[in-house]
Amino acid sequence: MLLLDLSHTSHTRARTGIQRVARAVQRELGSTAQAIAHDPFLQVWRALEPWEQANLADSRGGTKRGAQWPFSARWRGRLRRAFGLAGAQALAGEFDALIEPELFGPAVARELPRLFAQVRGPRVAIFHDSIPLKFPELTPAATVARYPAYLQELLAFDGIAANSEDSRQALTGYWRWLGVTNPPPVAAITLGVAPFAPQPPPPTKPAGDLPIVLSVGTLEARKNHLALLEACERLWTAGKTFHLRIIGHVNAETGRAAARRIALLRSAGRPIRFDGPASDEEVAQAYRECAFTVYPSIAEGFGLPVIESLARGKPCVCSGRGALGEISRGGGCAAIDSLDPESLGVAIGRLLDQPAELSALAEIARARTFRTWADYTADLTAWIRSLPRR
């Protein structure tokens, strides 16, 4: 039996990248894995309770990215501990392996040795990105401060599964720079995507109806929405007609400037819609309705919104570098080297003006074969089985 740590994901309904990966792995592992969490109120590792399982299954999404513990769960844990009942709830037995899919915080890190002691096989962490190291100016200060310790804590695992070759190289390069002489093996295991049915181009719209350009992703500095908004403003000023739709959380520290700019553009009468976080079905409907997508992010560990757009047969304007370059090289993207407003505007304007190019990119996207989450999980578990304990 595998252990899968969902200490954060089971306490949030957010659908950002790490939560999507964690939920997908849990869904694919099914009964072969025990989902667990560290309960800070009971102060034990334990199996998930029904309310936590319900959070994982809820597809409505949520407005808060942080872990939320209901008042009843907090006091129930404290009371059980006070009356000496914590042991009855604690995780018991030995397990074959551990998968850590989350960017865990200091509280979980302190408890990992206790969890490791119950795992007789490999302990593996999924590594998402090194963006706080590469772009500290675009990352919330608390994450930047936390990251060096987190990367040191990863050394205690028996293997690291990086989301992309770009992420693998970033992690191994950082450890070399630190002078680490015996790091755990790091493998690049490419993420999967749900098996969407590729969608045909949207039907011809009535006169006066605008094509929709969709952007899915958290409003935060590294996602580069300010450049996207400036590019669209220039296109609208030049007479281009299209509707921009944005879906995603707002990062309280680095995303407010983009949120303010959206509000100003809306008040000026520009055709822009900001939905905030949305449910899975709302996101799916937005993909169905759009002509193409734009993902203006400066840096990614993988880039799920790009692959999810392509898997639906919708072309995407995105970077051709780094992890996004690994995705875009397969075709279906209008990949660009620079993500400044001018370059974004040229790419968006070209797809709006040249339906033949848009149709050709959509055809390439629909013809691609994409790895599924089942493929990813099968590769991950096969690699885990090949690892020795360090």
Domain match, 281 and 149 both: no
Asked whether residue 356 is domain-assigned, the answer is: yes
Domain with residue 254: its CATH number is 3.40.50.2000
Please list, in sequence order, all residues whose beta carbon lies within 8 angstroms of the beta carbon of residue 119, skipping any fewer than 6 positions away. Answer: 3, 94, 95, 96, 97, 98
| Average pLDDT over all residues of the chain | 93
d(CA 10, CA 7): 6
Domain match, 87 and 140 both: yes
Encoded amino acid at 357, one letter: E
Domain match, 320 and 380 both: no
Domain match, 306 and 174 both: no
Asked whether residue 264 is domain-assigned, the answer is: yes
Distance, CA of 115 to chain centre: 25
pLDDT of 67 over the 70 cut: yes
d(CA 377, CA 383): 10
Domain with residue 170: its CATH number is 3.40.50
Which region among 202-211, 230-239, 316-325 has the lowest average model confidence (pLDDT)?
202-211
Tell me the mean pLDDT in the region 296-303.
96
pLDDT of 284 over the 60 cut: yes
Domain match, 35 and 62 both: yes
- Residue 197: band (very low, low, confident or very high) from pLDDT cuts 50, 70, 90: low
**How many residues make up the chain in this entry?**
390
- Residue 64: band (very low, low, confident or very high) from pLDDT cuts 50, 70, 90: low
339 token code pair:
């993500």
Domain match, 158 and 219 both: no
Domain match, 378 and 260 both: no
Domain match, 166 and 95 both: yes
Tell me the mean pLDDT in the region 242-267.
96
Asked whether residue 200 is domain-assigned, the answer is: no
pLDDT at 198: 59
Q: Determine if residue 126 is left, alpha or beta; phi over 0 gives left, psi from -120 to 50 gives alpha, anything else beta.
A: beta
Asked whether residue 204 is domain-assigned, the answer is: no
Q: Are residues 298 and 129 in contact, defined by beta-carbon separation less than 8 angstroms?
A: no
Which H or E element spans position 341? helix 341-353
Domain count, the chain: 2
Tell me the mean pLDDT in the region 141-160.
97
The whole domain housing 135 covers: 2-192+373-386
d(CA 31, CA 285): 31
Asked whether residue 202 is domain-assigned, the answer is: no
pLDDT at 45: 97
What share of the chain has pLDDT > 90, as a percent? 83
Q: What is the pLDDT of residues 207-228, one digit of tens each?
A: 458 999 999 999 999 999 999 9
Asked whether residue 349 is domain-assigned, the answer is: yes
Best CA proximity match to 375, nearest among 189, 101, 198, 192: 192
pLDDT at 204: 43
Which H or E element spans position 264? helix 256-267
Domain match, 82 and 127 both: yes
pLDDT at 184: 97
Give the residue carrying structure tokens 């890190």.
109
pLDDT at 325: 96
Tell me the mean pLDDT in the region 381-390.
92
CA angle, corner 372, sides to 101 and 26, nearest 5?
Answer: 35
Domain match, 76 and 176 both: yes
Could you tell me the strand order of the sheet in which 292-295 lies? Answer: 272-276, 243-247, 212-216, 292-295, 316-319, 333-336
Q: Determine if residue 216 is left, alpha or beta; phi over 0 gives left, psi from -120 to 50 gives alpha, anything else beta.
A: beta
Asked whether residue 230 is domain-assigned, the answer is: yes
pLDDT of 62 over the 60 cut: no
Q: What is the pLDDT of residues 322-369, one digit of tens each?
A: 999 999 999 999 999 999 999 999 999 999 999 999 999 999 999 999
Q: Are residues 257 and 228 in contact, defined by beta-carbon separation less than 8 angstroms?
A: no
pTM of the model: 0.93
d(CA 320, CA 33): 37
pLDDT at 298: 96
Domain match, 318 and 171 both: no
Asked whether residue 207 is domain-assigned, the answer is: no
- Residue 57: band (very low, low, confident or very high) from pLDDT cuts 50, 70, 90: confident
pLDDT at 141: 95
- Residue 61: band (very low, low, confident or very high) from pLDDT cuts 50, 70, 90: low
For residue 372, count other CB atoms closer than 10 A to its CB. Answer: 16
Best CA proximity match to 294, nearest among 277, 316, 310, 272: 316
pLDDT of 23 over the 60 cut: yes
d(CA 217, CA 303): 10
Domain match, 182 and 248 both: no
Q: What is the pLDDT of residues 102-118, one digit of tens each?
A: 999 999 999 999 999 99
Using CA atoms, how far residue 12 sits from 35, 67, 99, in Å, is: 15, 5, 19
